[in-house]
Structures are given as structure tokens and as C-alpha cells.
Structure 1
Amino acid sequence: MKMEQIDYQYALKADEQYDITISLESSSKCQYKLNIASQQEHFQALNVTDYTWLLEFSYCAQHKKKQGRIAVTDNEAQISIENSQYFEPNQQGIRYLNLTSENSQNISNVSEKTLFCDNCSLSETATLLAFKKPNLSAGPILIVAPHADDAELAAYGLYQDFAEQVWITTINAGQNVQKLSQQYIKDLDSDMCDAVERKAKIRAWNSRTTPLLAGVDYNHISYLGYYNITQTCLYETPHEVKLDTVIGQLNSQKERSFNHINLPNDKNFINTGQALIDDLVSLIEQIKPSTILVTDPEIDPHHEHIVAAHAVALAIQKSDYKPDNVLLYVNHLREIKKFPYGPEHARTALSPWYNSESVFGEYSCYSHQLSMNTQKEKVVALDSMHDLRSKNRIEKNIKQWWSKKIIKSGYQFYSNHSYFQTHIKSNEVFAVIDAFEFSECLCKER
């Protein structure tokens, strides 16, 4: 059965790498063993908890429709969702298995690792990649969210673990209403202008309150309320005032009055690209973050997510203070809606990507582990976001019941929205780039 050949490719630069052999121990159980082929003494001398570990291997699906699953266990321990990672059906090619678990010390005994495969097979050789973890404790962490819910989807576990030093700012008002029948509350407003203004108010409320669940200081949460800002607004027409297509000027000034950090555009709010850059410069210079999190402008195709990254790059370039690192996250993918794959609580790695060259040159990888309790708290955080509340549909309910009760797929279906399946995982994974390189390369590329 021939599978479609698709290789994952990244501009990754590992700090350490090791040749690995993969031996088939039991064909009936699809059971494999890992062994380090070289540099074993050097590997054992590492402080393994200081690294993110990815196994680069050749994957081959064995089913046209069922996802391949690889469970990573110690000495044939019990297979569970938490130690399983899922891959595409009907494909073969280079993939990356995340070996970074909550108990990272286990990676020190690679020879005791047993891989159990379901609906897939592995190559005989692989490469173990080690990426030095960024020092997130070095200073404040600024998370830049294009919209309410982006910070939670990508990094709720990370920002809960570093809650005392985390700052979160939300750029966009997120006011767009496609039609009156798609309001958060059915028939609440009969006028589109009222519906647009109400949605902006609700999303501002969401962005301010949800981080409190993780213990983030309310004074560290800010809302900017921009709308319809494009890359052209940032680079070519920075002083042009952009209007909303329905109501013209959206009054974001009132919502910004709750910010506890003073910003240049507070007093007389003006919706321009330059004002957005100036606000971000002010945030960076006041907070002095060692790390900034923002969306990946190469992989995430949402136009406002791309604008957020460019605005941060321009702000870093203009700021007198320079952060150390930028961590890039991905919440949307081109033509792929079910990644990260598999049921809730499974492992995940970097988003699918197919280009070994990047505008940023080479970059690192960081996998942040979430305990089961943190994953469940992330479910509650996502449930607090109005935009992630999906309506019940009979067809969807039947499919979920069939999947859960009959097929026993392992899915919990905490909510009707697909993000509750894709983004409740045991890892949150980021690309890591030097902040100066991020700024210079992205601005130059534009």
C-alpha cells in the first residue's frame, strides 16, 4: 500500500545530536527499541533536564484513514494517551517524535525506551536532537496575543507555570461579526452595529479575566483594541487611520482605561499602525521582558497573526531595551485543521512545515510540559472564552458518541469546538529565536 511522500522540514539547529538505531523487537506487537549508536558517554554526561528532545525519524503510515500512533514507554510500561503521539494517515516521510516528557530524566535511559506503534512503522535509524531550554526565569515574559484566546491556546500551561513574571497584552479588538445569526448569544442584538460593539466588549473582557485563572497579576494584563491593521499600515502608511467596515470608528479607549500600565495611545486612541508600534515599544521598555511570545509569521497564515509578529519586530527594532529571546507559536495552519493530532492529553511536537530554509536562519525548539492537572485547568480557561463556544449539532453529537463509545478512540470531547481536542495536549511547543535576529530578519524580509 503506497503512501504519499511528505517530509517535515525545519531550519532547526540542535545543540546536541546523536545517531540512534531502532530495532524491531516484536512484529506482532509493533514493538521497537531505541539505542544510541555513538557518543554514548558524552550523552550520559549531559544534564538531560536542561534540554528539549526530539527524535527525527522516517515514518510510514499503514492505513489510509487512521492516524498512526507511537507510544513511548520505559521498559515496556503501560501505553497511555499521555505517552502517545499521533501522525498523519496515508503519508510517509520525515517526522519528529517528542521525547520530552514531564519526567525528562527518563530520556537518560534511551536504551530502556520501548516504542509501540499502531497503524504505522518506523525506520531502522534516526537522529536524537537536543535543544538547550531557554532560561525563562531570567526575567519578565511578555506574551503578545493577536486576539483574546491566542495566548491561552498556545501557552496557557507555560504562563501558569511562570504566572508571577508573565505579562499579557491583546492587540486586536476581534469585533468582526459575520452576521446577526452568529452572535455569541442568539438574538441578543438586532442591529449589526450594536452586535459588533458588544462582541468587542466581550472579547476585551475575556482577554482580561481568563489569565486570572492561572494566577497572572491583573496589573500585568493589558488590552490594546486595534482593528483592521495590516502590514501596509505598519510599513507604508503608518499614520493612516483605519476604520471598521460596519461601524467606522470603534471606541477602544474605554476598554483601554482599565489597563494598569500607561501607554502612548491611551488618552486619544487612534487606530493606526504607528500607534500600535508605539504602544508595543512602550510595553517593552516598561516591562523589560527577557522573553517575548508571539505568533510565527512564516507558519501561521492568519493575517492579523502575521501583523502581530511584524509589529513586535518593529517595536524591538525601535526600543531602547532589547529582549533576549522570542518564542514563536502557531494557532492556525494552512489547510490543516486537526493538528496537534490525536485525542486530548496526547503529546505533540512542532507544527507541520515543509521548508528547511527560514527567514530567521536557523532556530531552536522548546517543549514545555503540562501536568494532567494543568491540562484540565487549560480546558477551563478555553471554556471561559466566548469565541470557543461552539453550538451543538445533532450530526456532531452522533459522531462524537460513536467515536467515544463505539470506536473507543480515546477522545474526551470536552467541548464541541475542535480547539478543545487539538490544543489540550501534554506539550506546548515553540520555535526559539534570538530577539535581535527575529527583529532584523523579519523587518528586512518585508
Structure 2
Amino acid sequence: MQQRKQQLLRRHRQRKRVALLLGLPLLFSSALWFWWLPLPLLLAAWVLHEAYFADHLFYAPGDDYDYRFAGAGVSVSITADGRLGLAQLEGIAEADTLLLEVTIKADWRGCWVDPRVLIDVAQPHDQQTFERGCAGRRVVNLSGLGPALAAGQVRLRGRYCRLAGQATLHVLRNPDYACQRMLILAPHADDAELAAFAQYQRGAEVTIATLTVGELEAEPYQQLGLSAIEAARLKARLRSWDSRHAASWGGVPAERCFQLGYFCMQLPAMRAEPLLGHPSKVAQTGDIRPLRKGNALPLPGDVDGQPSWFNLLGDLRGLIEHYQPQVIVTPHPQLDPHADHQATTAALYEALAVSHHQPQTLLYYANHLHDNDRWPMGEQGEGVALPPALEPLTVAGVWSPSLSGAAQIDKSMALGLMHDLQTPLPGKKKLRRVLQHYLAGRRWPRWGVDEFYRKAIRRHELFFVQPWPIKDQAQRPE
């Protein structure tokens, strides 16, 4: 999965180089007429690039999303005024998750400004944003609107886009997983907060396990006069503290939060050589025990402190058998390409294969994507439409609980406790945001500069439901 994303990134950069080479003859010819003209042309090209073409969108906006839902959807019509024809649909008011597959086509304005689907319930209620120039099948999230849909009060409107007259509605009913015993696996500190803060805040019995200490990319801490090694160790201490204590803001006590102490971007190497220890790439340490001292439960990896796959599987098995979760929350094995995220779910599967306790359900989340680094697109507070799925993706179920305004504020404050989300923006990104604000109409949250404040503070949290055990081997990670 990570290899596929690198391939997409290389292809994206190659296309930019080709565009630059094609533009060079224009610059040379303009210099023949006016010697000063190439400079303003270059400046204009750079401004247009930063405003409109700097997104990492690695697919054609006209491609359809290819979701294969387990249950058949209901065909509904969209009237001229945007009403949904649901007169014969029963039980919709009780459904917790409602997904509308619909064809969206951007108009000429939607090629320059992000197209949006506006969702009105007596008054403007929500909007969900899609790719500029989109012209294909998309999935709008109507979760939380069951009673309004049943009463015929929901109206959809396209801004800078048009909606097709026919759509497919998927009506999904789930138990409230937050009321079950839950184990959340976070590859790094903040992954649990980004994906599932509102659910563990509501949860009655939640355990959080963070696999790595997050010591990479510690250059900002060198401004304190530290060497690269000292900065990496400081960052590891800070993020380990975050992983154990920030969740208390959401009601999960520190004794239910575990830091396993493994090292960033080493999980795939550990998986490839299960019995060997793989030390930190930057902190010059190979002992996982120093940052595990606050854990409330002794784990198998404490014995020798080796950062090995064998120890990781033992740690996960120990947590699963001790807390006996009914639900385990983990990164999506197909959608989330981050190498540590992929390895986390692979480790979970291997640990469950030898565990005496088995959960009933896995809930998958995606904090990163292969081919669209802006998803969820749009602004803070919007609903979460389903992510791009350009290859066929079989979906057993989806759970998308709604967040109140108060829950969104609490989640924003939880992200504020995460040191890694407080790094100031580089000057180039600040300038890009200014250009995109005035030229492309984009907005960013006032609280917090990191992109995850825009992506994660939303009207919904989104999980793909996988009953356990998995019968279809294609659903397992590579």
C-alpha cells in the first residue's frame, strides 16, 4: 500500500515536470517580444499552481468511487427542488448511518472552486465538499438525519455542481459500539483522538494502546539547542506522555492508556524479521522499556525490551486477553496507506490468530489516504463523505455516529493537547493558504494550524465495520 502511494507521488511529480518543460518555449518566446515578460509569467504560474494545483490528487476527478456494499441499497429519486423520494421506505428514522450514492458533476465554477452538496433541513444544516472538477459517483453522508428524511424535510442542493436525478440510499443499522468494551489501536499518539475521540469520550469501558513513541521529524526541538539525537528523545518522551494522558480529557484514565514503546517507521521492518530488534532510526536507542514505565499492566515486551515483532504480538495478545474487548478499532487495511498503520492492523490479525479471546467486531478508520491528501475535503464542522475508492472496495458495513457542537469543541481541545499538532506552519504553506483563501475560496480553522484540525473536527466520525472473524481473505492486509 505504501509502495502504491509512492508510485502515485512519483507520477504526480513527473507530470509537473512535463508541464514545466512544455511551458519553457512560451517563456523563451515571450522574452523575444518583451525582455521583462518572463518574470511576471513565472510569478503568475506559481500563484496559479499554489492556489489550484498544489493538492496531491492522484486520480482523475471524473472517476467513479467503486464501493461494493454488502446489502442492496434502495433506489431513490431526487426531485427538481432536491427532495428525496422516500415515501415507501420504512424504518429509516431508526437507522444510525445513511449513505447516499449519487452522481455529482461540477459546473465550470466547480473546476476552480471546491464543489459542495448542501444539505438543508428546514434551514442550512450541513455541506459536504468534493474534488474540483468531479464528475462521477460519490457517497454523501446523511447519518443523523433519519427522522428528517422520514418526514420528507431534507433537501439537497449542489453549489458549483449538479446532482443526478437518481441515487441509491444505503440504510445501515448498527449497535452503539461505544457502549461495548472497546480497544483502540493507535500507531502513533493522536491517531486515537483523530479517529475516535467522540466515541471513547462516550465509551463506558475503553482501552487505548499506542504502538510507537513518535520520535521522527524532531527538527523543531533542535531550536532548543539540542542535538538531533537529544531532540528525537525529547519528542519521544513528549508524545509518549501525550499517548497516556491526553485521553483523560475524554474520560479515559491514564491507567487504561498504554504506550508500547516501539519506534516510528520500524514496524514494517519488524514484521519482515520477526525475531530481530529494530532500534530507532534517529534516537540511538533499541530498548522499548524506558517509555513503557507508566503502563498499568506488565506486558511480555517488558522482559527483554527488544523492539521486535515477536514482542509486539505478545503485547497485543496480552492486552486483548486481559481486557477482552468486544470491539477493536484499528486502521483500515486497504484505505490507509501509512506503513505503520498497515503494520498495526497486520499485527492485530496475527495476535488474534493466537489469542484465547476474540472480539465480535473490528472498526476500521483511515487517518491517511493513498490518493487524496485533503480528505475529508472541505471545512471544519462539515459532514464526512466517504473517501475515494477508485478500485473496487467491498464494505461489510459502515458506522458513522454524529458529533454535537460540544463534542466537536471537546475533540478540538483534545488535539490541542498533542504536541505533534502544534508545530508552526512553514512560510510557504502560510502563503499557500492565503492564496487559496482569496482565489479558491478555502477556509481553515481559527483554532490550530495543523491540517488535521480541518480534517478531524467534523460532524461525523467514520468507521468501516468488519465482523470478526473475517471470512474473506481479500479483506486482510497485504
Name the residue aligned to 2:409.
Answer: 376
Output the amino acid matched with 1:324.
Q
Q: CA deviation at 1:440?
A: 5.8
Unmatched segments (≥5 aa) in structure 2: 1-59
1:430 to 437, 441, 463: 463
Q: CA deviation at 1:190?
A: 2.9
Q: CA deviation at 1:146?
A: 0.2
Q: Evaluate the alpha carbon distance shift between residue 137 and residue 155 of structure 1 in structure 2; reply closer, same or farther with a 3 A threshold.
A: closer
Contact 2:86 2:150 in 1 (8 A): no
Name the residue aligned to 2:150.
Answer: 108
2:136 to 67, 86, 93: 93
Contact 1:53 1:99 in 2 (8 A): yes
Give TM-score scaled by structure 1 length. 0.87
In 2, distance between residues paired with 1:439 and 1:10? 16
Name the residue aligned to 1:36.
Answer: 86
Indicate yes or no: 2:234 matched with 1:218: no
Q: Evaluate the alpha carbon distance shift between residue 407 and residue 274 of structure 1 in structure 2; reply closer, same or farther with a 3 A threshold.
A: closer
Contact 1:136 1:291 in 2 (8 A): yes
**Deviations 1:144-170 (Å, cap 9, x if unpaired)?**
0000011111111111121x3111010
In 1, distance between residues paired with 2:444 and 2:238? 30
Indicate yes or no: 2:98 matched with 1:53: yes
Name the residue aligned to 2:353.
Answer: 317
Contact 1:316 1:439 in 2 (8 A): no
Output the amino acid matched with 1:169.
A
**Deviations 1:163-198 (Å, cap 9, x if unpaired)?**
x311101001111136xxx22x45224322211211
**Deviations 1:281-334 (Å, cap 9, x if unpaired)?**
111111110100011121111101100010011111111111011011001112
In 1, distance between residues paired with 2:254 and 2:158? 45
Q: Evaluate the alpha carbon distance shift between residue 210 and residue 138 of structure 1 in structure 2; reply closer, same or farther with a 3 A threshold.
A: closer
Indicate yes or no: 2:400 matched with 1:367: yes
Output the amino acid matched with 2:73.
Q
Indicate the SS of the match to 2:147: helix
In 1, distance between residues paired with 2:471 and 2:452? 28
In 1, distance between residues paired with 2:460 and 2:325? 23
Q: CA deviation at 1:79?
A: 1.7
In 2, distance between residues paired with 1:173 and 1:136? 28
Name the residue aligned to 2:70.
Answer: 13
Contact 2:92 2:146 in 1 (8 A): no
Name the residue aligned to 1:233.
Answer: 270
Name the residue aligned to 2:326.
Answer: 290
Q: Which moved more, 1:430-439 or 1:333-342?
A: 430-439
Contact 2:100 2:170 in 1 (8 A): yes
In 2, distance between residues paired with 1:238 and 1:392? 38
Unmatched segments (≥5 aa) in structure 1: 26-31
Output the amino acid matched with 1:35.
G
In 1, distance between residues paired with 2:420 and 2:283? 21
Indicate the SS of the match to 1:223: strand
Correspondences of 1:248-327 after superposition (within 5 Å): 248-327=284-363
Q: Tell me which protein shows more strand as a share of its residues.
A: 1
In 2, distance between residues paired with 1:294 and 1:10? 20
Contact 1:54 1:100 in 2 (8 A): yes
In 2, distance between residues paired with 1:383 and 1:405? 27
Q: Evaluate the alpha carbon distance shift between residue 90 and residue 137 of structure 1 in structure 2; reply closer, same or farther with a 3 A threshold.
A: closer
Q: CA deviation at 1:335?
A: 3.6
**Deviations 1:42-78 (Å, cap 9, x if unpaired)?**
x32x26334310011111111212111112122xx22
Indicate the SS of the match to 2:384: coil
Indicate yes or no: 2:118 matched with 1:71: yes
Q: CA deviation at 1:267?
A: 3.4
In 2, distance between residues paired with 1:438 and 1:331? 25
Q: CA deviation at 1:135?
A: 4.0
Contact 2:128 2:384 in 1 (8 A): yes
Q: CA deviation at 1:238?
A: 1.2
Q: What fraction of aligned residue pairs are identical, expressed as a percent?
A: 27
Q: Tell me which protein shows more helix as a share of its residues.
A: 2
Contact 1:67 1:89 in 2 (8 A): yes
Give TM-score scaled by structure 2 length. 0.81
Contact 2:183 2:327 in 1 (8 A): yes
Q: Which moved more, 1:427-436 or 1:384-393?
A: 384-393
Indicate yes or no: 2:198 matched with 1:141: no
Q: Which moved more, 1:135-144 or 1:403-412?
A: 403-412
Q: Evaluate the alpha carbon distance shift between residue 332 and residue 407 of structure 1 in structure 2; reply closer, same or farther with a 3 A threshold.
A: closer
Correspondences of 1:343-422 after superposition (within 5 Å): 343-358=379-394, 362-393=395-426, 396-397=429-430, 411-422=444-455
Q: Evaluate the alpha carbon distance shift between residue 93 and residue 406 of structure 1 in structure 2; reply closer, same or farther with a 3 A threshold.
A: closer
In 2, distance between residues paired with 1:152 and 1:90? 32
Q: Evaluate the alpha carbon distance shift between residue 94 and residue 406 of structure 1 in structure 2; reply closer, same or farther with a 3 A threshold.
A: closer
Which structure would you say has the larger Rg?
Answer: 2
In 2, distance between residues paired with 1:325 and 1:243? 33
Q: Which moved more, 1:237-246 or 1:386-395?
A: 386-395
Q: How many equivalent pairs are there?
A: 416
Q: Evaluate the alpha carbon distance shift between residue 277 and residue 347 of structure 1 in structure 2; reply closer, same or farther with a 3 A threshold.
A: same
Contact 2:104 2:164 in 1 (8 A): yes
